[in-house]
Amino acid sequence: MKNVIFIAPPSAGKGTQSSLLMDNFHYEHISTGDMLRSEIASGSSLGDKLKKIMDEGKLVDDELIIELIKNKLSSIKGPYILDGFPRTLNQAQALDEIIDDNYEVIYLNISKEEAIKRVIGRLTCKCGKSYNLNEDTLKPKKSGICDSCGSVLQKRDDDNEESFVIRYETFLSSTKPLIEYYKNKNKLHTVDMSKDRLEVFEDIKGIVIND
Ligand code: AMP
């Protein structure tokens, strides 16, 4: 299997597609957002600083994030998904120094209107599953409870309209240029996120399964 790098605006469905890859092909999920949120949950002073940046919808320092990813990748054996990294050109260039060529980049293309609808309905679980109250197929079976592990679902602090608008602008200015970067490397694939999640997953399978 190919390693996967997702590039996507906020709330495009990275988490949902990551879960499908993990459940079907035993991918390891590396989400920089989750790693940062667990630092915040630890109550450290670094976590307090991170929370402020993330709640405002801004990006955390390249240096810190690159260090986190370097450490994480050094302990990964199986195929992995990079969910939320790289988000800047600087991060992409640093990643080139760390990984080999066995990866594909998948751009999850979604309109701003659809993404905002998803962000407002999104609920997440500490086990990594995410749900959406605005989509019938993504609602939890029991209201407010994770289908997989039974924990109480939470709303992310940055899943509100105000923070979304900044995150989306940050995506356009800092992350979208990566599309050109990976196109030039012949690594870019675009999937249409207006389709049903299982149809999208079929498209993704076609990209990640080695011939
Ligand atoms: P996510 O869970 O991927 O939506 O990320 C949540 C937030 O974590 C982002 O809005 C950023 O503030 C921060 N973050 C996650 N990944 C990165 C990254 N690669 N570079 C900088 N900031 C990041």
Q: Which two tokens stand for residue 160?
A: 């509100």
Specify the pLDDT at position 126.
87
Q: How far is the CA of 211 from the centre of ligand 1 (A)?
A: 33
Mention every residue, 6+ apart, whose C-beta is less than 8 A from residue 13.
108, 110, 118, 193, 197, 200
| Tokens of residue 131, six digits | 């749900």
pTM score of the predicted model: 0.91
Split at pLDDT 50, 70, 90, the class of 205 is very high
Ligand 1 contact, 33 CB (< 6 A): yes
Report, as residue numbers or ranges, the catalytic residues.
Answer: 14, 87, 122, 156, 167
Q: Is the distance from the beta carbon of residue 54 to the nearest atom of ligand 1 less than 6 Å?
A: yes
Which H or E element spans position 54?
helix 45-55
Choose which residue among 59, 116, 165 to substitute to test ligand 1 binding: the one with the highest number of ligand atoms within 8 A of its C-beta: 59
| pLDDT tens digits along 38-77 | 999 999 999 999 999 999 889 999 999 999 999 999 999 8
CA of 32 relative to ligand 1 center, distance in Å: 6
Q: Model confidence over 110-165: pLDDT tens digits?
A: 999 999 999 999 999 988 888 999 888 889 999 999 999 999 999 988 889 999 99
- Atom number of ligand 1 nearest to Cα 86: 19
Q: Alpha-carbon torsion 161, 163, 165, 171, what sign?
A: negative
